[in-house]
Structure 1
């Protein structure tokens, strides 16, 4: 097995915590030869973990890409609006790239990156990790094997979870579309990708409705404060109390370890008192929607209704897929798929195995596939190639355009033409 050399741009939650465990657990498959990370603590932690020397450590992606080509591929795990430039430069320098989703907050940039990878004959794979989980792969297999006939309609619910939404999309890095990307991209581009994959047909029309309804200043309780620790009169009963949420045991709350480095109790308390994660959820600069629905029609005739809501008990995805010969109902967290076949009224309960690692095994799965694709020189038509991801990204962009224009129907053929790179 050829051992591949990788470098990482962006050693944060995704670049370090999500994808590096696979490399650490499979040292015969890949080795890390460099990292670019502006945050000193993250950079030092990554450097120590992979025993890099000072010549392998860079403060920015620009510094790393100024060097002669040093490895087979780059993992680019920067923030949403910092994907385009490093990806384009990496491709032009001859690197294969694994790029964190979403590709970009600009549809033209998504198209240009896809075009550049094809031009250079390189692999550009997007981190749509859900395609690699046992649950979604089992659903895809049941459809592909004809168990429910042709897909006629899908109802797909993304339950973000009220505390996850408050952490990431009210207080966190993805709270404001001008700083990151709209919710339909930042969170739900996974769902757009899964829908496109399961239907396996070109999307023809999209419409969408949604808004930021709850986490607004006018909904702040009387006698609340700018921060949870500023003597807020309702902090003890507020479901979004930062001290109560972030001072939990780290095993019970995976978000708590993300607000301070290292995540000691004292460091977390300091972050609550001084950083964004201690702000009142009704008093931040957030603007992304807390609920949204998207309606889609496909060339095959299938229709899809997707619903995302941040105000849910669980973090889960639930799906119902109706076909000409049967129906599938799935619960991601339980890993359960309920198959009902009309012929004979046969019901089968399928338990999808739970993969190891983050995203129900998807994080490990995409690393395994990316490295395999590189070894076998499969650079086109991959499961999560840029070509495949571009289509679902355009569906998300069209949905956001529809939402901002009062739910008008967007013709996808015209939309693709408008966002296509000019000669």
Structure 2
């Protein structure tokens, strides 16, 4: 097995704790040889993690991609609106690229990156990790085998988890659509992708509703303050209390590693008292939705409905797939799949439980991407989650957001493709759909 070398562009949560961690866990497979990260503290942590010297550390993607190729692949895990330029440059230089999802909140950039992958004949793999999980792979296998006949309808729910919602989309980095991405794209492009993959047809029409219903100033409890540690009289009762989520012995307190690099009681308390994650959830500057539903129609007439909600006790996905000959029901986080063949007995389908985030999908993605790089695949085999494959799910998400903003009216994917074309030609503004 040939060791693959990589430059890591962006050493935040995903960069450090997923891709960087894979290199630490499997050093014979992957070696990080350079890191670009504007935050000095994160740069130094990455240097320690991977044994890097000062001449292997860069403050920006421009610096690390300015010159000769120094590795086999580039892992791009910057913020959503910083994906396009480094991806294009890396492909141009000759790197195969692993790109964090979503590709971009701008449809013309999605198209530009896909075109660049073809132009430079390099891999561009998008991190739609669900396809690489044992759970979804087994469901796909049942569908392909004909076990439920033709798919008629799918119901998929993404339960974001109340603490994940508060952390990432109210207090955190993805709380404003204009700075990152709309919620349906940032959080749920995984789900658009998995629906597209399971049905294996082009989506033709989308409608959507959703809003920021709860995390608003007018819903702040009487006696609450700007910060959870600012004398808030309801802090002990509030499920969204930063003290409860990050500091106390709570099932979700593992999230404290995302608010500070000083994982001591003093460091965590300092972050709560002075950082963005100690703010009252009702008094933040957030504007992304906290719940959304999407209805989709596909070429054959099959339909799918998707529900995303920030108000659930856990982080999970549940699915019901209804076919002409049977039904599948699944609970991803419990690795539970039950097949109900019509006229027969229910069958519990065994699923391998794997370690790692997203039900083993994070590690599965890395393994498959590195295998592709070692085989030096041509554009004839761009992989399971290539930029080409990702185009469909991104268009679905763009259509859903456009529909939501326009009162739930039906939007065709053909309209989105036409709008994408005119954007690339410089005729239309992307703001209408993003």
What is the TM-score normalised by the length of structure 2? Answer: 0.95
Correspondence 1:11-410 to 2 at 5 A: 11-249=11-249, 253-342=253-342, 344-378=343-377, 379=379, 380-410=381-411
Contact 1:205 1:297 (C-alpha < 8 Å) held by counterparts: yes
Q: Are residues 406 and 122 of structure 1, via their aligned partners in 2, closer, same or farther at CA, if it must alter by over 3 Å?
A: same
Q: State which drifts further: 40-49 or 148-157.
A: 40-49
Q: Matched residues in 2 for 1:290 and 1:11: separation?
A: 27
Deviations 1:7-61 (A, max 9, x none): 1001111111112232223222222211111111211111111111221111111
Report the alpha carbon displacement of residue 209 of structure 1 after superposing the two structures with TM. 0.3
Conserved? CA contact 1:250–1:257, under 8 Å = no
Which of 19-28 and 150-159 deviates more?
A: 19-28
3-state SS of 1:417 partner: helix
**CA deviation after TM superposition for structure 1 residue 254, in Å:** 2.0
Deviation by residue 1:258-283 (Cα, 9 ceiling, x = unmatched): 11112211111111111111111000
The 3-state SS of whatever aligns with 2:101 is: coil
What's the CA shift for 1:6?
Answer: 0.8
SS at match of 1:125: strand
**Distance in 2 separating the partners of 1:333 and 1:251:** 15
- Give the drift of 1:422: 3.5
**Offset from partner CA, 1:356-377 (integer Å, 9 cap, x none):** 1111111111110110011112
Indicate conservation of the 8 Å contact 2:398/2:416, yes or no: no
Residue aligning to 1:7: 7
Post-superposition Cα deviations, 1:344-399, rounded to whole Å, max 9, x if no partner, equal: 32210113122111111111111101100111122434101000011101100110
CA RMSD of aligned residues (A): 1.3
Give secondary structure in 2 for the equivalent of 1:32: strand
8 Å contact from structure 2 (residues 22, 30) kept in 1: no
Give distance in 1, aligned partners of 2:135 and 2:388: 23
Q: TM-score, normalised by structure 1?
A: 0.97
Runs of 4 or more consecutive aligned structure 1 residues displaced over 6 Å after TM superposition: none
Of residues 242-251 and 347-356 in structure 1, the stretch that sits farther from structure 2 once superposed is: 242-251
- Cα distance in 2 for partners of 1:165, 1:205 equals 28
Query: How big is the shift at 1:248?
Result: 2.6
Shift of 1:252: 5.2
Q: Is residue 207–residue 409 contact of structure 2 (8 Å, CA) maintained in 1?
A: yes
Alignment partners' CA distance in 2, 1:118 and 1:399: 27
Match of 2:430 in 1: none
- Residues in 1 aligned to 2:151 and 2:181: alpha-carbon distance in whole angstroms: 31
Over residues 153-191 of structure 1, what are the superposed CA-to-partner deviations in whole Å (9 max), with x where a residue is unaligned? Answer: 000011001111011111010111111111001100110
Q: 1:257 Cα shift?
A: 1.4
CA contact (8 A) 2:90 2:97 kept: yes
Q: Taking structure 1 as reference, are residues 122 and 250 closer, same or farther at Cα in structure 2, changes over 3 Å only? A: farther
SS of the aligned residue for 2:295 comes to: strand
* Partners of 1:250 and 1:256 within 8 A in 2: no
For residues 68-111 of structure 1, what are the alpha-carbon distances to aligned partners after superposition, in whole Å with 9 as ceiling and x for unaligned?
11111100000111111111111111111100001001011001
In structure 1, distance between residues paired with 2:86 and 2:353 = 34
The whole-number CA distance in structure 1 between the counterparts of 2:302 and 2:223 is: 50
Distance (Å, rounded) in 2 between the aligned partners of 1:221 and 1:120: 55
Change (3 A) 1:112 1:331: same
Structure 1 gap ranges (5+): none
Q: Does the 8 A contact of 1:159 with 1:308 survive in 2?
A: yes
Q: Secondary structure at the match of 1:131?
A: helix
SS in 2 for 1:225: coil
SS in 2 for 1:15: helix
- Whether the 8 Å contact between 1:248 and 1:256 is mirrored in structure 2 is no
1:214-242 Cα deviation digits (max 9, x unpaired): 00011011121111111111111111111
Cα deviation for residue 2 of structure 1 reads 2.3
The CA deviation at 1:249 is 4.4
